[in-house]
Amino acid sequence: MKKFLAITAVVLGLGVQAQQTKEKTKDSGIELIPKAGINIATQSVKNLDGEKSKTSFQAGLGVNIQTGLSNFSIQPEVNFISKGAKIKNNFGNQTYNFNYIEIPVLAKYSFGPLYVNAGPSIGFLMGKNDKIKAAYGKTKTVDFGLQMGAGVAIPAGPGKVIVDGRYNLGLTNISDEKGVNVKNRGFAISLGYAIPL
């Protein structure tokens, strides 16, 4: 009985010491996530069936912030993303690029290394070239949307390698022309690294 009590006391003592060490080394619950990848973009155009997807570049920086609730965090981001579509016309398939600075704010729920996320986004169009003006006429400079996706966070070194897949649903008719309705769509795949702060 004395041996049992002695072993129990040692185990409890080691447990308390391990917990204290963990608390001392615990990070702030904030991760910085640089990332880059591709965006498979298309557009939903009213009364037009010839649009096709195009593949383009996207990159950005996210900040994952733990909320204090188990497995739940908030992740605001600032991203550069190229949207648009390939549209068939009299000259063949023409590619139209709409480059945005986009700011999503995502609610993120993790279970083990896997996670799901979703939230609103706002995009700001970076200029309009003559090709865009000729095909689309007047276009809006702000695009509101929803993003939803999933990914995996794999421990590597001090942080985690992030593989993220996300669907972008544009809610704004980006055309200012009467009777024309154009909305952005896209599926983004990115590779990043979460750096604990």
Range of 150's domain?
27-196
Average the pLDDT over 9-14 and give the result.
42
Tell me whether residue 76 is in a domain.
yes
For the chain, give the mean pLDDT. 86
Using only C-alpha atoms, what is the Rg of the chain? 23
Percent of the chain beyond pLDDT 90?
65
Residue 22 lies in a domain: no
pLDDT band (50, 70, 90) for residue 90: low
Structural domain contains residue 12? no
Domain assignment present for residue 191? The answer is: yes
For the segment 33-54, the average pLDDT, to the nearest whole number, is 88
In a domain, 18, yes or no: no
Q: What pLDDT, on the 0 to 100 scale, is given for residue 49?
A: 67
Burial of 161 (0-12, 13-18, 19+ CB in 10 A): middle
- The model's confidence at residue 170, banded by pLDDT at 50, 70 and 90, is very high
Number of domains in the chain: 1
183 or 8: which leads in pLDDT:
183
Note the pLDDT tens digit of each residue in 113-127.
Answer: 999 999 999 999 998
In a domain, 16, yes or no: no
Local confidence band at 58 (pLDDT 50, 70, 90 cut-offs)? very high
* Host H or E run for residue 26: none
Instruction: Please give the model's pTM, rounded to 2 decimal places.
Output: 0.80
**Spatial separation of the C-alpha atoms in residues 176 and 100, rounded to whole Å:** 17
pLDDT at position 97: 92
What CATH number does residue 161 fall under? 2.40.160.20
Residue that wins the pLDDT comparison between 2 and 196:
196
pLDDT at 45: 86
In a domain, 20, yes or no: no
pLDDT band at 143 (very low <50, low <70, confident <90, very high): very high
Q: Is residue 14 part of a domain?
A: no
Amino acid in the structure at residue 113: P
SS3 state at 28: coil
How would residue 4 be classed by pLDDT, with cut points 50, 70 and 90?
Answer: very low
